[in-house]
Amino acid sequence: MSGNSDPGARSGFIALAGRPNVGKSTLANAIVGAKFAIVSDKPQTTRRAIRGVATGVDWQLVLVDLPGVQRPRDALTARMQSRVERELADADGCLFVVNAEQGIGPGDRFIARLLSSAPVPVVIAVNKIDRCDRARTAAALQSVAELELAQEIFPVSARTNAGVPTLLEHLISLLPEGPFFYDARQHSDQTEYVRLAELIREQVLRRTREELPHAVEVEIEAIDRRREDLVRIEAVIVAETESQKAILIGAHGRMVKAIGTAARGAIEHDLGARVHLDLSVRVRRHWRADERLLDRLGIE
């Protein structure tokens, strides 16, 4: 961590809320200017409260990409829900993201009710305007205004960056004066083990359907840097049943090989080094209810 001692510097935390698949992670990455949260079209992609760090000359904004808000169903979702409430209590502001293309639905209203008692200012970003015509965007903005939750509403496209600089400027204005929390070159607070596990899980999410993504987690077991020109990584994809394991391995091992090849490319880009990835699939029944495993995976 770093402490910029500029007396006029601003720094603080902005919590990100939004139902699954509104483009929260893509918007967070756009604000930070670097990839720190994995992106997927599958609901409930984000499990950990990952902090993304955006730093300017005299400001530092720490974005907390909250797990998707939902009613708790098991130990995993209960942890995610309590994390949402804790992060909101510690934040300086909240950015609520909705999807212009889909409009306001019951999920958005559920989150709006949760945020109505938030102890911090709430800002709403209406995302994916690049996929809507003017009439549809106007209708989405009107429905958001009817929630009577935020004084400021910003139409944005995380994919094209339209409206993102204006939104960022407003979020910075919510931050109190204070020293930087992180080194100015740092984009995330994730440990290397978690960051690399998430890059592998992103590739699993891209290649699997329906309920399988929710039953899968990735654990990095070892990172070996004994050779200067090569990083060796041992990782395990954890599934809940033998049938899920069979899908993840695929016919003649094709699925796990495709996941491993794509993940290795992403990890090499992240580390800036050549990587040997040893990837296996293991069954661990009811892992989502295993408190000790959730602790080890960093899901608080």
d(CA 45, CA 24): 10
CATH number of 10-173: 3.40.50.300
Task: Give the pLDDT confidence of 129-142 residue by residue, as tens digits.
Answer: 999 999 999 999 99
Q: Quick one: average pLDDT of 146-155?
A: 92
Q: What integer is the mean pLDDT of 206-218?
A: 76
Higher-pLDDT residue of 140 and 293 is 140
pLDDT, greater one: 228 or 72: 228
**pLDDT at position 1 over 90:** no
Q: What's the topology of domain 192-296?
A: GMP Synthetase; Chain A, domain 3 (3.30.300)
Mean pLDDT of 26-37: 81
Backbone torsions φ then ψ of 88, nearest 5 degrees:
-60, -40
Sheet holding 217-227, edge to edge: 217-227, 230-239, 275-283
Q: What is the pLDDT of residue 21?
A: 77
pLDDT at 125 exceeding the cut of 90: yes
**Confidence at residue 176, expressed as pLDDT on a 0 to 100 scale:** 96
Q: How many Å apart are CA 68 and CA 80, to the nearest integer?
A: 8
Phi-psi group of 213: left, alpha or beta (phi > 0 → left; psi -120 to 50 → alpha; rest → beta): alpha
Whether the predicted pLDDT of 165 surpasses 60: yes
Residue 228 pLDDT grade (very low, low, confident, very high; cuts 50, 70, 90)? confident
Domain ranges (residues) in the chain:
10-173, 192-296
Question: 3-state DSSP call for residue 106?
Answer: helix
pLDDT score of 66: 67
Query: What's the pLDDT score for residue 44?
Result: 55
Average pLDDT, the chain: 85
Taking the CB of residue 193, how many other CB atoms lie within 10 A of it? 18
How much is the average pLDDT of 270-293? 88
Question: What percent of the chain is modeled with pLDDT above 90?
Answer: 51
49, 79 in Cβ contact below 8 A? no
Contact in structure between 165 and 225 (CB atoms under 8 Å): no
Give mean pLDDT, residues 223-235.
94
Give this prediction's pTM: 0.70
